[in-house]
Structure 1
Amino acid sequence: MNKIKLSTGTTLAYVEAGNGRPIVVLHGFCGSHSYWDEVLPLLAVHGRVIAPDLRGHGESTAGEGVYAMEKLAEDLAALMDELELPQIDLIGHSLGGYIALAFAEKYPERLRTIGLAHSTAYPDTEQAKENRLKAASAIRQDGIVPFVDGLVPKLFTAEHRSNLSEQLGKAKAIGYGTSVDGAAGCALGMRDRRDRVDVLERLEVPILLLAGELDEVIPPDKRFPVSKDNVTKITLEGVAHMGMMENPQAFAANVGEFLERNRGI
């Protein structure tokens, strides 16, 4: 585990594997770099894979307030500066995808490719915004454990809740490591995020949109907001919102194929 104090004021923890072309993978809400444990060695054959803990998650430091997607994108840019990475391939899972889009909007020249995994460019619905407020309040009132216990099972398919009980338990344990400030701040930041379909429409770099067939978090009508020559759309069969843990081999194979296909760009 490595840690770096960034110019944005936070200290980010990260792990890495492999060498060569830098590939950054961003985990989802109440996750950490450990979401990628099984995927990391599979992707490392394609380059130097860097998996940070987002601000307020895992071993990265936290602070009070709203964690705007733009602020988290600035953390990523600062991490790249510290590691002397002018450009990256960027894969974001769920919340990580929202951050990736904010990064793409502000720093498009620093991307080689971008991938959204179990994520969307659309903003929250009004009902979802209300739920984010309730989540932030519940986290601050009751702590992180009961919130994670309620959240994580919804991220796996019904079948995987039983036959992947070890992975589900691991996802819960990872979630328990999220700070109260980090979880509440990200809930509010996700609530405030804007519609970034236009960002995808403008981007000229290769784009991967990877969805879970049975995802109950990202509905089918929100998974593939754009269709262009530079967009690759993939649906992972039999998984919900946690493809990197539910079927890491298929997840890594599809991401790896996308990266290799666009290696010369």
Structure 2
Amino acid sequence: MHLTLKCDNAKIYYELFKSTKDTEEYVILIHGLGMDSRYWYKIVPQLRENFNVITFDLRGHGDSTAGESEINWEVINNDLITLLNQFDISSCHFIGHGLGGNIAIQFCYQYPNFFKTLTIISTLIYFPPEAASATLSYRKHLVNLCGFQALAEELVPKILYNSSLVYEKDLLFSSYLKISSSSLYMQFFKTMISNPHNLGELSTITIPILVIDGAYDPILPKKVTGLSTFTFQNSHYVTISDTADAPFLENPVETLQVIERFLLSIEVTQVTYDTYVESYLNEFKKNLGELMQKEKYEINSQVLHVQLMNTFSVRNDNEYILEGWNQRMAKQLFCYLIFHRTSTREQICDDLMKDTDLTSSKKNLRVYLHYLKRLINNEKEEFIKSDKEHIYLKGKVECDLVTYINRINSLENKDITMFYGEYTQVINNIPKSFFPSIYDEWALNLTHEIQKKLIKISEKLSQYHIHRNELLKATEYLELVMEFDCIEVYFYEKLKQLYIQLNNFNKLEKLEKQYSDHF
């Protein structure tokens, strides 16, 4: 049943899925920020077997209008109360995903009598102020730069662990593109990361709570979502295998088994610990609570966050350094120093200005270095230092490409059967470009080194699936690296043979045509 509900000055779109049983039990599903209610489609049919299910779109999401009110907790809570009153629901089960889980938690703290149980999926219950501010700043930057398409391109690959789920990926993309405005999105985000209640207050919630996360969630890793188990008194924590941030989309069978077992039993089995373990847990919880509730962090130093994969950006803590990178070799010199954090002046001149004589290039380097220092260094942190012979990149510099290379190198001696997930994570996140607009020889050489290692990883994955007689999957991993310049003929022949075995002569013909002059 497709309906709209008038809440204040907004129209909230919702659907009621009546149970196949005669029951007064309700489950309300709250989607995450940027999503809409459509993505619950895999779990609604089975939930209906025991419950009436209500899905709805948050203000300005999906088919709901934004209204005129600024988003805050009072507005969000009133929308939920109006929805509950529409069906005369006195108490029910709530399931929230992502920041939808935060909505449910805050609503539960304010109105606990509405709750029979609460299930939160991939939800961070506490937002460190500095990290929250940085995340908000970055998302605002993406949306202002290229709209919600850019935000979707950044987040959707992280929400889904299985890159072959095309329909699900398209569904998530379309959800972002239906958001009514960037200001509404930022209002929601800012509201939900504002920590209206500290962990001590949240620990007073006594209803049964199920905490679910994905085994390979890059947005909210297990070590983060696991914080919930130390906060809620009556909680149960489950990780869903082979999933990232949206386990109900990637592994609905296992997710439903966990949720239904919880909803139908309600009672959470409490483990009895011995005296020493109980003492340890209580002390740990106390110390953790004190740390989190202070909500103040001693920032010893600033952090430069550098993005090189697919696009170039530099952020000093919460502030992006947007201007000046295309002047006086700033981008080239800075990128070089990221990978050569202690370098001689002569070596830099040789690698970046080899067509200029050494005397001239050293003079130019002094000018370029002075400019780069002004661009990056500040009163609090001197990231770039120098003496007569050397130039140094100091301090905390976090670069996505450096992290990616470290992940590649970590696989060198790992058994693929034991670390299959890590292999696929690396290969499925191959960027379109490694050094945007950097064409110096050192960068090209490093790119080739990375590509060679990725080819070996893709070959291992392909061979793994060949042994399992999964030839289609084997071809997919070979195809991912065929565009690399350093690809060799044996790799090309291997892919040809797989196409022949699969009788995929269309792809075989395209492959031969594309590489006819290459080998």
TM-score between the two structures when normalised by the length of structure 1 = 0.89
**Cα pair 2:43 2:256 within 8 Å, conserved:** yes
- Which structure 2 residues correspond to residues 29-178 of structure 1 after superposition, within 5 A? 29-63=33-67, 67-140=71-144, 142-157=146-161, 160-161=162-163, 163-178=164-179
Q: Which has the higher contact order (CA 8 A, sep 6+)?
A: 1
Query: 1: CA distance between counterparts of 2:18 and 2:247?
Result: 21
**Cα pair 1:121 1:196 within 8 Å, conserved:** no
Query: 1: CA distance between counterparts of 2:67 and 2:108?
Result: 24
Query: 1: CA distance between counterparts of 2:68 and 2:158?
Result: 27
**Which residue of the other structure, out of 6, 24, 31, is the alignment partner of 1:27?**
31
1:191 is the counterpart of 2:193: yes
Letter paired with 1:57: H
Query: 2: CA distance between counterparts of 1:90 and 1:196?
Result: 21
Larger radius of gyration, structure 1 or 2? 2
Partner of 2:223: 221
1:235 is the counterpart of 2:236: no
Partner of 2:345: none
Partner of 1:10: 10
**Cα pair 1:101 1:199 within 8 Å, conserved:** no
Seen in structure 2, the aligned counterparts of structure 1 residues 121 and 127 have a Cα distance that, compared at 3 Å, is: closer
SS at match of 1:192: coil
Which digits, 9 at most, give the CA deviation of each residue in 1:122-171, with x for residues without a partner?
124413322213323543554322222222111112xx12x212211221
Q: CA deviation at 1:206?
A: 0.8
Query: 2: CA distance between counterparts of 1:192 and 1:220?
Result: 22
SS at match of 1:143: helix
Question: Structure 2 unaligned runs (5+)?
Answer: 268-519
**Cα pair 2:10 2:68 within 8 Å, conserved:** no
Which digits, 9 at most, give the CA deviation of each residue in 1:194-219, with x for residues without a partner?
45533542122111111111111112
**Cα pair 1:70 1:103 within 8 Å, conserved:** no
User: What do you get for the CA RMSD once the two structures are aligned?
Assistant: 2.1
Q: CA deviation at 1:4?
A: 0.6
Query: 2: CA distance between counterparts of 1:68 and 1:140?
Result: 22
SS at match of 2:203: helix
Letter paired with 1:72: I
**Cα pair 2:205 2:233 within 8 Å, conserved:** no
Query: 2: CA distance between counterparts of 1:81 and 1:199?
Result: 27
Q: CA deviation at 1:238?
A: 1.2
**Cα pair 2:29 2:95 within 8 Å, conserved:** yes
Query: 2: CA distance between counterparts of 1:105 and 1:201?
Result: 10
Letter paired with 2:106: A
Letter paired with 2:166: S
**Cα pair 1:144 1:179 within 8 Å, conserved:** no
Aligned length: 259
Which digits, 9 at most, give the CA deviation of each residue in 1:170-195, with x for residues without a partner?
21122211121432222222332345
**Cα pair 1:94 1:120 within 8 Å, conserved:** yes
Q: CA deviation at 1:96?
A: 0.6
**Cα pair 1:30 1:57 within 8 Å, conserved:** yes
Seen in structure 2, the aligned counterparts of structure 1 residues 219 and 199 have a Cα distance that, compared at 3 Å, is: farther
**Cα pair 2:118 2:209 within 8 Å, conserved:** yes
Question: Structure 1 unaligned runs (5+)?
Answer: none
SS at match of 1:226: helix
Partner of 1:212: 214
Query: 2: CA distance between counterparts of 1:236 and 1:221?
Result: 14
Q: CA deviation at 1:73?
A: 2.5
Seen in structure 2, the aligned counterparts of structure 1 residues 33 and 79 have a Cα distance that, compared at 3 Å, is: same
**Cα pair 2:57 2:63 within 8 Å, conserved:** yes
Q: Compare 36-45 and 187-196 and name the one that shifted more.
A: 187-196
Which digits, 9 at most, give the CA deviation of each residue in 1:70-116, with x for residues without a partner?
53232111211122111110010001101001101110111111111
Partner of 2:253: 249
Partner of 2:180: 179
**Cα pair 1:18 1:48 within 8 Å, conserved:** yes
SS at match of 1:13: strand
**Cα pair 1:87 1:109 within 8 Å, conserved:** yes
Q: Compare 169-178 and 110-119 and name the one that shifted more.
A: 169-178
Seen in structure 2, the aligned counterparts of structure 1 residues 65 and 10 have a Cα distance that, compared at 3 Å, is: closer
**Cα pair 2:96 2:119 within 8 Å, conserved:** yes
